[in-house]
């Protein structure tokens, strides 16, 4: 995918990646801390983090021996502008985005 909007929405399509973004709303986190609540391998989490990095939604940097992840909320600006064109969505701010993600994740956990 070369279109940044496609890349952003593809990254946001996965519930694990959305959960990671929610975690990073609080603060920067070491990769091992990001992986802790998930029942998957560190390699699988690393793949999710790489997708988020390629989309520009997070940045990663090495501090000593530890790799850290940081949320890059400005990267969602293109998606926010695109959604606004439909008139159904307001400008994305972090609080509203967090509430949106929480609602989406709650609905995914509900039995059908």
pLDDT in tens, 44-65: 999 999 999 999 999 999 999 9
Which domains does the chain show, CATH number per domain? 4-105 (1.10.10.10)
Strand partners for 69: 29, 60
11-24 pLDDT, tens digit each: 999 999 999 999 99
Q: Is the pTM of this model over 0.75?
A: no
Sign of CA dihedral 28, 31, 32, 34: positive
| pLDDT at 100 (0 to 100) | 79
80-101 pLDDT, tens digit each: 888 777 765 555 566 777 787 7
């Amino acid at each position: 995918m070369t279109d940044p909007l496609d890349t952003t929405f593809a990254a946001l399509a996965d519930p694990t990646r959305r959960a990671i973004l929610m975690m990073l709303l609080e603060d920067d986190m070491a990769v091992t801390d990001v992986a802790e609540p998930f029942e998957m391998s560190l390699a699988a989490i690393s793949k999710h983090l790489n997708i988020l990095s390629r989309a520009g939604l997070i940045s990663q940097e090495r501090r000593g021996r530890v790799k850290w992840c940081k949320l890059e909320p400005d990267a969602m600006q293109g998606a926010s502008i695109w959604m606004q064109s439909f008139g159904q969505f307001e400008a994305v701010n972090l609080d509203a985005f967090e509430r949106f993600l929480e609602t989406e994740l709650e609905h995914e956990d509900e039995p059908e």
